[in-house]
Amino acid sequence: MRNECYGIAVLVLLVVPALLPVSGGVGLAAQTADSATAEGQADTASATPAGIPDDLRDPETRSQALARILEVAESREGPVRTLWVQGLAVAEKTSPEIGARAVEALLRAEAGDIEAAAWALAEWPGPDEMKGDDRAALLALAARLLDGVDPEGGAQLRERLLAAHPAAPEAVETRLRLARYLAARESDEDRSRALALVEDLIVDTPDHPLAPEARRFLAQLRRGV
């Protein structure tokens, strides 16, 4: 029951803001809508989650660590909240070490080292050393971290995810985010690729929660918006 509750919370918090643009800045706090709010959050107990990775690695404290990640997510705003919810999803469905690495990347990013945190996560421990869905989860989180500071790098990671793990749970949102990035580049080749990605998403996963958004975006692309 505890895991089911976490899963519902993840779905609600992650799907709703899934397609919001992410602004740039130094550290994740700069990506919130209100930096003053972010500063206030740093004073709360839930906003200082440095011990969560070690608690995730310990079977006796893992459930409490998952609850703390949710508390941290709820204390954040905007895209930063979404990142922590995505980190919770990774921690729930992967091994304790992988979940801990994901949270460590979020902590490093909040300290201002976003790009290094994202690329370290994407490259650890190597593409052949974990099962496909776990690798896809890390690539998706790393790509999301890069959105505000290195959109091209984020797109590269999404291309990698789709090429290696096209059936992963993260592939649907990955297609849509990559399509939006390509459409914004405005070249005919990129727009054609964006169209193909969105059309494939709709055909392959018509009942996914993101399918209605994909249909609206496809209509915009066809109108040349």
The pair of structure tokens assigned to 60 is: 């006796």
What is the pLDDT, as a whole number, of residue 126? Answer: 67
With respect to residue 205, please indicate whether it lies within any of the assigned structural domains: no
Asked if pLDDT for residue 68 goes beyond 90, the answer is yes
In a domain, 65, yes or no: yes
Instruction: Give the pLDDT confidence of 8-18 residue by residue, as tens digits.
Output: 444 444 444 44
Residue 109 has pLDDT above 60, yes or no: yes
Among 113, 114, 48, 58, smallest CA distance to 91 is for 58
Residue 189 domain flag: no
Report the candidate in 195, 109, 189, 198 with the shortest Cα–Cα distance to residue 154.
Answer: 109
Is 7's pLDDT higher than 80?
no
Q: Pick the residue with more confidence: 70 or 8?
A: 70
* Residue 173 covered by a domain: no
pLDDT at 63 over 70: yes
Mean per-residue pLDDT for 204-211?
A: 97
Q: Are 75 and 64 in contact (CB under 8 A)?
A: no
The answer to whether the CB of 68 falls within 8 A of the CB of 107 is no
Reported confidence tier of residue 34, pLDDT bands at 50, 70, 90: very low
User: Of 139 and 225, which is predicted with more confidence?
Assistant: 139
Q: What is the mean pLDDT of residues 179-200?
A: 95
Count of domains observed in the chain: 1
Q: What is the pTM of this model?
A: 0.80
Residue 18 maps to a domain: yes
| Containing structural domain, residue 91 | 2-135
Indicate whether 89 belongs to any domain. Answer: yes
Residue in 23, 26, 24, 28 with CA at minimum distance from that of residue 49: 28
Name the most confidently modeled range: 20-29, 83-92, 125-134. Answer: 83-92
116 in a domain, yes or no? Answer: yes
Centre a 10 Å sphere on the Cβ of residue 132 and count the other Cβ atoms it contains.
14
Residue 112 forms part of a structural domain = yes
